[in-house]
Chains A and B, each alone.
Chain A
C-alpha cells in the first residue's frame, strides 16, 4: 500500500467515525423533535437556534452526572458492557460504501474503508458480538430487571438474526456476491433491489427494527415492565454509551438497508447529468445520505406510530412468520433464477451459477 493510499484511508476512517458519531448525536435531537412533531408539540427549542445545541447540552449533562457502579455489580464486566456495545456499533461502518470513488491526481480512491469480500457476513458477525454488550451489561448489573432485559434482548436479537440472514440469502442469490460494494454496483441508476426483492426488503426491514431494539421491538428496555431493562443500573456516560450505540446502530442499519435494497449511492439519471467523475461521486454520496436520513426518519416514524409487541407475539412473528416467509422468498428466487438462466434441463456445477 502506498503512502497516499494510507493517508487517504486514515483520513477516511476518521471521517467515517466522526460522521457516525455526529449523525448519532443529532439523531437524538431528531428523535425528540420528530416525536414532538408527531405529537403536535414543538420539541426542544431552547438550546441554540431551534434547539440545535440540545445534543451538546445532553452530552455535557451525561458527562457531569454521578458515576455509579453498584456495590454488588461485577466491576470489570460492568464497564465492559457499554464499551463493547459502543465498539461494535462503530465497527460496522467499515464495510459500507459511502460513495463510488474520487480521482485525485489521476489516482482512484475508493470511498469505502475496506471492501471485504464477505462484507455482509462481517456486518452480521459484528452485530452478533453487539449482543454481548447488552448481555454482559445486564448480567454485571446484578439486578433482576437488568437481567430480564438482557435475556429478552439476546433472545430477540438471536431470533431475528436468523430471519435477517435468511432474508439476505435471496438477495445474495440474485447478485451472486457478499461484498457490499458489488451489491451496490449491481443496482445501477434506478434498478434498485427493492423492486425485485420486495418481500426480502420487508423482512430485512422488520428484522433491522428488532436488531436495533427499536419500537415495536424495544422489549429489552420496556419501561412499563422492566424499569430501564439492561441499562437500569447504568448512569452517567456509561448509560450515554448504550443510548449512543443504539443510535449509531440505527444509522448503520439505515445505511445497510440503503446499500442492499435502495441502490446505495446510485440514483436514476446519474449518467445523463454529464457531471465529472468526482462531482458525480460527491452527488452520489449526498444522495446516499439523503436515503439514509429518510430511513432514520422512518425508524422514528414507526416508533411513534406502532405500539410495542408482547413477548410471545415477538417470538411468534420471528419464528413462525418471518423465517418461513424468508424460506419462501428463497425458493421463489431460486425458481426465478432457474427459469432465467434456463437451468431446468442442464446440470451445472454450483460455481458456474454465479454470473
Chain B
C-alpha cells in the first residue's frame, strides 16, 4: 500500500555539521572481511602518532603560559606610595556570590597615613579560598582598584583552616620589586 508522504531529501534537512555520514549496512567484501588491510591502516595511524609532538608539559621544568586575564589567588593592592588601596567599603563582600569575603573596618589613626590611603581601612580582611569560585566579581565591584585576581595559584593544604587567607597573605609587599603584576586584569577591568 502506497502512502502519499512527501519525503524531504536528506540534504535539505538542517545539519549541524558537514561531517554526517549516511550509514550503509552493506555486506562486507572479502577483502574487508580479512580485516588485515584495516589492521594495517590502524597500525599506520598509531605509528604516525609515535612521532607527533607530545601534548605533555614537563611541569616543574616547563610551565605553561597563563592567560593575561587568568583569575587566580587575589591580591590587595597598594598605591605608588605603598599605601593600602582598600577602604573596607564592603562592596566586594556584597558582590561575592560565594560569600567568601569577610572584613572588619577600622578608622585610620594619626601617624598611619603612610599605611592606608584613606581614613577608613580593613583591619581584618579574609577570603575563604575553599568558598571562592574565582569569578572576579569582587574586583569588578571594587571602586578603589584595591582587589585583583592574579595569575598565582592557591596552593594546597592539609587543613581547611589553611585556606582562609588573611591580610598577611593577601596584601602585596611594600617592596617595589615584589609588587604583584596585575596589568592584564587591570586592562580588562578598566575596559569594562
Contacts and interface: CB of A to CB of B under 8 A. Distances in A.
A38 interface: yes
B66 interface: no
B30 to A, nearest CB: 13
Nearest to B42: A305
Which residue of B47, B56, B58 has the most chain A CB atoms within 10 A of its CB atom? B56
Contacts of A38: 46, 49-50
Contacts of B49: 37-40
B153 interface: no
Interface in B37-62: 39, 42-43, 45-47, 49-50, 52-56, 58
Contacts of B47: 301
A42 B56 contact: yes
Interface in A276-312: 301-302, 304-306
A305 B56 contact: no
Nearest to A216: B39
Contacts of B39: 305-306
Interface string B50-94: 101111101000000000000000000000000000000000000
A41 B56 contact: yes
A45 interface: yes
Contact-size category for B: 10 to 19
Interface in A32-51: 34, 37-42, 45
Contacts of A41: 54-56
Contacts of B43: 301-302, 305
Nearest to A41: B56
Given A42-B56, A42-B58, A45-B58, A37 B42 contact: no
Which residue of A34, A39, A41 has the most chain B CB atoms within 10 A of its CB atom? A39
A332 B55 CA distance: 50
A301 B47 CA distance: 8
Contacts of B54: 37, 40-42
Interface string B22-48: 000000000000000001001101110
Interface string A8-39: 00000000000000000000000000100111
Nearest to B44: A305
B164 to A, nearest CB: 34
Contacts of A34: 50
A37 B56 contact: no
Nearest to B53: A40
A41 B47 CA distance: 14
B52 A40 contact: yes
A34 B50 CA distance: 8
Interface of A: 34, 37-42, 45, 301-302, 304-306
The 7 closest A-B pairs by CB, nearest first: A42-B56, A305-B46, A305-B42, A38-B46, A40-B55, A37-B50, A41-B56
Given A40-B53, A306-B39, 5 more contacts: A37-B54, A40-B49, A40-B54, A40-B56, A306-B42
9 contacts: A37-B50, A38-B46, A38-B49, A40-B49, A40-B54, A40-B56, A41-B54, A301-B47, A305-B43
